[in-house]
Structure formats: C-alpha cells, structure tokens
Amino acid sequence: MQADAQHFVQSKSKALNFSFAAVLTLMHVGAIAALFYFKWSAVGAFLVMWVIAQNIGIAMSYHRLLTHRGYVVPKWLEYTMAICSTMAMQGGPIYWVAVHRLHHQLTDKPGDPHSPRDGVWWSHVGWILYGTLHNGDPALARYAPDLIRDRFYVWLSRFHLVPLALAGGVLYYFGGWSWLLWGIPLRVVLGWHTTWLVNSATHLWGYRNFDTRDDSRNNVLVAIISGGEGWHNNHHAHPVSATHGMAWYEIDVNYWGIRLLGFLGLAKKIKVQGLKGGPAKVLHG
C-alpha cells in the first residue's frame, strides 16, 4: 500500500479538536493542583499507577504485545494487561495499536501520524490536537484486524475510560484528593509527555545502532523515563523484538518485566534481537 494513498489517514486540519484540548487542559490543571496536595503516600499511589499504566500497560501490553506480538501470554493475562493500558488515558487498544502500526509502515514519510518532519510540536502533541485521526476512526480498522475480530477489544475500545474511572474512585476512597490527583491527572499528564517524547525526541536526538530508512534515534533520557521505549532506533530496526535495549548499557526495564513473566511461566515465544542482527532468538520462558 503506497504512502501517498495513505496520506488521507492522518493529515493536518485547521480545526482544533476541542474535546481533547479541553481534556488536555483540565488534566494539566489537575496535575498542577496535585503539587499542592503532596503526601508521601500519594507518591506511592503515583508510582503504583505509573507501573500499571505505563510499564505494564503502554510498553508491555499496547506496544510490545498487542502491536508487535513480541511475545505471547495467556488470553486472560493479555486482557488484564490491556485493561492496565487504558489507565494511561491514551485511547482504546484498537486506536493505539492501529496508529502505531501505521507509524511503522510510514515512518517519517507522508501519512506518518506523528513525524517531526512535519514539525516538532506536531510530532509531540499537535497531531492529536489538529490531526484527522481519532479514537474509533473506521479508517484505522485495516491496521488492527486482529483486534477488530476480538469482541473484548471492541468492547474495551468503546469503554476504555471505564477502568480509569473505577481506579479514580478507589484512589479517592483510600487516599482522598491527594491520592486521586497524584494517581490520575499528574500521572496521566507525565505519562502523555513520556509517550509523546518517544514520538518526537527519539526521531530528533540520539545515536543510531542501525542504518534504518527513517530518523529514529536511541535517546538515553527518554529511555530512562519510559523504562526502555527510548531505544527507538533499535526498535525500528527490529520491531518484533521484545527487547529494545540491545547493548549491555541499554537498560530496558520493560523487557525485564517480560522476562519476569517468562520466569513465572506466563510469557512464551519471547522474541529477542541483538546488535549483530540475524534471526531473532525465541525464548520460551
């Protein structure tokens, strides 16, 4: 499928996505408010929710499992991890997976949902505020046919905000406003910018282990705050690899989580790629 034929899937619009702009503004206000409700227990709630949503959710589930199928887990665990992903407030599984697969197909070419070649601001957040792609967009269905065929993912994509709302209720019940503000808006906002930095910064700054046909870079700072997603040049060179850190110094916490699942007998067929290239190793636990 040619890139120019896909340009309609994501393009710039003069119309602001007012609904997301309103949500983005409110969440940033909530994140600032959280700083006035500091408690050490709230920091603990933040960290627990961060691991659930960003590490287990976005990195291990949406990205390495559902998008690239870098490993396999039992369905009950796959579904549970997908629910964790929705806590990041980055859209339902069909939307997230389809957008990322589209990004890999057209990386830094016309139609890429968030390439810095269209502007740094665009690649960071402008593509959401002014882009034509939206959660539930039927044009994305072709990029996630495996999830479209699964009733659970269709349901979760429709009601992806429900688990977050329930989590917010639990946080407020046990810790009041401090837990709620640190566990939801502050954590969500920092999680947004972490994921958006992978879209923007890792296509602008860093080093390259592989001569890929795009601008992907390995960015140390982004890798640290994202748990390993910042080793982006490695990832674009070998998308199905469950590990993104391929040198001994490229720490990949998210891959450690996958290996822990393997040690527990819950993750199988873990695809692992090294710097020397060649066929990926497949680890069974």
What is this structure's pTM?
0.93
What's the CA gap between 32 and 37, in Å, rounded?
10
What's the CA gap between 163 and 61, in Å, rounded?
16
pLDDT value at residue 11: 63
Percentage of the residues of the chain whose pLDDT score is greater than 90: 85
Instruction: Name, in order, each residue with C-beta under 8 angstroms of 143's C-beta and a sequence gap of 6 or more.
Output: 97, 98, 99, 101, 102, 105
Residue type, 261: L
pLDDT > 50? residue 200: yes
Q: Are 69 and 146 in contact (CB under 8 A)?
A: no
The single-letter DSSP state of residue 273 is -
What's the CA gap between 35 and 255, in Å, rounded?
31
The pair of structure tokens assigned to 27 is 């969440």
Residue of 184, 214, 183 lying closest to 199 (CA atoms): 214
The pair of structure tokens assigned to 111 is 């139609």
Alpha helix positions (H), the chain: 3-6, 18-34, 40-50, 75-86, 93-105, 120-121, 127-129, 145-148, 151-158, 162-181, 187-200, 220-226, 232-237, 253-263
Q: Are 173 and 198 in contact (CB under 8 A)?
A: no
Q: 158-192 pLDDT, tens per residue?
A: 999 999 999 999 999 999 999 999 999 999 999 99
pLDDT > 60? residue 145: yes
Residue of 199, 197, 185 lying closest to 221 (CA atoms): 197
pLDDT value at residue 144: 96
Q: 11-47 pLDDT, tens per residue?
A: 666 688 898 999 999 999 999 999 999 999 999 999 9
What's the CA gap between 269 and 264, in Å, rounded?
14
pLDDT > 90? residue 151: yes
Output the average pLDDT for the chain: 93
Residue of 218, 223, 195 lying closest to 63 (CA atoms): 195
pLDDT > 50? residue 2: no
